[in-house]
Amino acid sequence: MVEKELEKFLANEKGNIKILRPAAELQRAIYEARGVIPQRETMLRTDFKTLEARYEAAQEPLHRLQIQREQIVQRISNFLEDIKQTISAEGSSFYRRLADKVVSDWVKTLETQTSMVLTKSQIEKLIKEVTDQLSRKMENELLVWQNEILQPLVISRLERLTQEIDERANEFVHQLDSLKIQVVGSIVSIDDLNIKKVSVIERVLAASGGFLLGGNIGLAGVGAVFGYQEMAKAIIPQLILSVAAITLAAANPLLIFGAMAGGGLIQGFLTAKSTNDKIKEEAAKRFAASIRDSAPQRGDKIAEALVTKLTEIQNSINHSLGQEIQKFREQVDSILKEKQQGQAKVDAKISELQVLSRQLDDIDQELDALVARVALPNY
């Protein structure tokens, strides 16, 4: 039953998803444009010297907003440094405990196929069996640790950060919107300026497409629909997968064999006609030593993998907040330049904006109808 439903979904719904995602992006672009058009029209109708004076008065507040942006980004940097140290220590501790398990518990339960150890090749085969089994056990332990320790730790820290950053971003955007009202003029209402009807994080990150981690459109969609905190939760499984990919490899059985041979142990085993258990125990000890010795490096790799991905979030926020200020500057600068070209130019621009507004209404209606047909095909 489940398989049939999945096949049906993949056959019928995959195309719909491909349509709905760009449709959602276009809807957000239309929503933003509806805020920009009345702003531009109002500024075009404002006396040049009045608009210029308002814009000049806004320079210091804009500079303060830049400082706020830098403070938000620095707060994320501090968080990344702190979580890097925490995860590195947790990872290192995990691998040290794992090494102890190898010797105290796992080696006792190993079952190998190699029954005779009369030659070096047979000993090598036995060592490979031992390390393969230990590697699989290590993989299972790593997945349990990721699910029970690493993931909850990262999510709880990240949720606290996202709540704080969301509050700071709210304040940033609120101040910027208030500044726009001062420059554009009180004739433009808060609704016209598109203030906080949607999530601030949604609004701020829309320009950069959300957290496009590795070009993941799915994650961008999550961010667009549910906002910052839901996206933070959604990226964790992907981060865990990247961590697993770089930390799962255990000690190379050939290296362990080479180290044992170099120390004369292989020849000693042959001379003394050692039992399989003795060889397995020694191989397990070497395996455990390899894990224990590399525990700090493995912990660092886990931390680095997480921080690398989370840095993409930091860069996205930094870029998007900067874009919010830059777009406003460019908008006012372009209006001042157009007004310097004479009233005829201004009147032509106003007419263009009115046409664009009507076209946006038409496009929006058609887009709503398309989304309804795709999302609710039976209604």
All structural domains of the chain with their residue ranges: 57-312
> Sign (positive/negative) of CA torsion 141, 147, 151, 156?
negative
pLDDT at res. 196: 40
Is the pLDDT at 75 greater than 80? The verdict is: yes
Mean pLDDT to the nearest integer, 114-118: 62
pLDDT at res. 46: 92
The pLDDT confidence band at residue 274, using thresholds 50, 70 and 90, is: low
The pLDDT confidence band at residue 176, using thresholds 50, 70 and 90, is: very high
Mean pLDDT to the nearest integer, 337-356: 91
Is the pLDDT at 132 greater than 70? The verdict is: yes
Which of 45-49, 70-74, 83-87, 182-186 is predicted with the least confidence, judged by mean pLDDT? Answer: 182-186
Is the pLDDT at 43 greater than 80? The verdict is: yes
Task: Give 149's DSSP letter.
Answer: I
pLDDT tens digits, one per residue of 282-296 = 778 888 888 888 889
The token duo for 27 is: 């809807």
Give the HSE-up count for residue 293: Cα atoms under 13 Å, Cβ half-sphere: 8
Contact 367, 23 (CB under 8 A): yes
Closest CA to 37 of 361, 353, 358: 353
Contact 46, 186 (CB under 8 A): no
Mean pLDDT, the chain, rounded, equals 75
Contact 139, 248 (CB under 8 A): yes
pLDDT at res. 65: 96
User: pTM for the whole thing?
Assistant: 0.72
First to last CA, the chain: 25
Please name the amino acid found at residue 235: I
pLDDT at res. 30: 78
pLDDT at res. 331: 93
Closest CA to 256 of 108, 123, 76: 123
> Sign (positive/negative) of CA torsion 219, 225, 231, 234?
negative
Contact 113, 50 (CB under 8 A): no
The pLDDT confidence band at residue 220, using thresholds 50, 70 and 90, is: very low
CA 325/CA 340 separation, integer angstroms: 23
Percentage of the chain exceeding pLDDT 70? 66
Which of 51-65, 109-123, 342-356 is predicted with the least confidence, judged by mean pLDDT? Answer: 109-123
Percentage of the chain exceeding pLDDT 90? 24
Mean pLDDT to the nearest integer, 261-267: 52
pLDDT tens digits, one per residue of 139-150 = 888 888 888 888
Contact 268, 282 (CB under 8 A): no
Count the residues in the chain. 379
pLDDT tens digits, one per residue of 310-324 = 888 788 888 888 988
pLDDT at res. 175: 93
